[in-house]
Amino acid sequence: MANKRPKPEEIVSKLRQVEVLMGQGMSRLDAIRQIGVVEQTYYRWRKKYGGMGVDQLKELKRLQKENERLRRAVSDLTLDKLILTEAAKGNY
């Protein structure tokens, strides 16, 4: 059975947990192992979610959904315009 991917909220929590462990004097590698991920995964997460709070993460997800919705709307309108342009050329 494949491992399920952690949700972004869980990732932010794990990144904070590493920071706390390092603040308590634990080495970075030991802290990364403590949360149960490999070093590469930790650095990828840190690059994507580093310094982000849960509220900021929710806002990011909301903006990504809105952006996708707007892209679809523009795509649909562009397609409609092309169809109307082709139809108008046929009427002359």
State the 10-residue block means of pLDDT for the chain, 92 residues long: 78 92 94 94 91 84 94 94 88 58
Looking at residue 49, its pLDDT comes to 87
Looking at residue 33, its pLDDT comes to 94
Helix extents (H) in 1-92: 8-23, 28-35, 39-49, 54-91
In this structure, the number of other CB atoms found within 10 A of the CB of residue 41 comes to: 15
Domain ranges of the chain: 7-52, 53-91
Residue 84, classified by CB atoms within 10 Å of its CB into exposed (0-12), middle (13-18) or buried (19+), is exposed
φ, ψ dihedrals at 61, nearest 5°: -65, -40
At residue 88, what is the residue type?
A: A
Q: Are 32 and 42 in contact (CB under 8 A)?
A: yes
Q: Are 17 and 35 in contact (CB under 8 A)?
A: yes
Local structure of 4: helix, strand or coil:
coil
Looking at residue 2, its pLDDT comes to 60
Query: pTM of the entire structure?
Result: 0.63
